[in-house]
Amino acid sequence: MGSDRRFNYSAIGDAVDVATRIGSCCKAVGVQLLISEETARAASGFAVLETGEIALRGEAQARNLFVLVGDEAMAARREFQELEALHARLLGSLRNKNRAEAAALLHACRSLGGEQLGGLYNRLGEKAAVLAVDSVTPVEGISASGLPAHRAGR
């Protein structure tokens, strides 16, 4: 782009537009870095957590986005793997509108996710709060305190 005297090196196109829209969702989701599902697949081995579907400005269909939590070393840590499994169960509970299960899993995820993921779990907590009240059912592997059962005794 530009003229003979002035050049402007810019990235243009659909991918740039989508990346900009994804980046503008970070504050609403409460995280520093969001990536698309395509990027998450390309970065296999990295520590990522699904946010669920998020409507992007200017797009008719919501996209499934992911939080980039860390690199391969983070992904290999037992604590992250435990969080990843609980997080997946949490999203399933939200999709199935199981408020009681979501609440217990949310507490466990907040405990493991720490400050870095606090905004994400606040957002997911808001989603859980609007679910229809379901009967209280025990959540396998989660203690009454909301911690993973094997950690509750610590």
Q: DSSP code of 60?
A: S
For residue 77, what are the contacts with CB-CB under 8 A and spacing of at least 6?
Answer: 47
Q: Are strands 34-36 and 47-54 parallel, antiparallel or unpaired?
A: unpaired
CATH 3.30.70.1230 domain range(s) in the chain: 1-74
Asked if residues 154 and 120 have their Cβ atoms less than 8 Å apart, the reply is no
**What is the architecture of the domain spanning 1-74?**
2-Layer Sandwich (3.30)
Residue 114 CA to residue 57 CA, distance in Å, equals 29
The predicted structure's pLDDT at residue 135: 43
pLDDT tens digits, residue range 57-92? 877 777 788 999 999 999 999 999 999 999 999 999
Residue 110 has pLDDT above 60, yes or no: yes
Residue type, position 30, single letter:
G
Whole-prediction pTM: 0.75
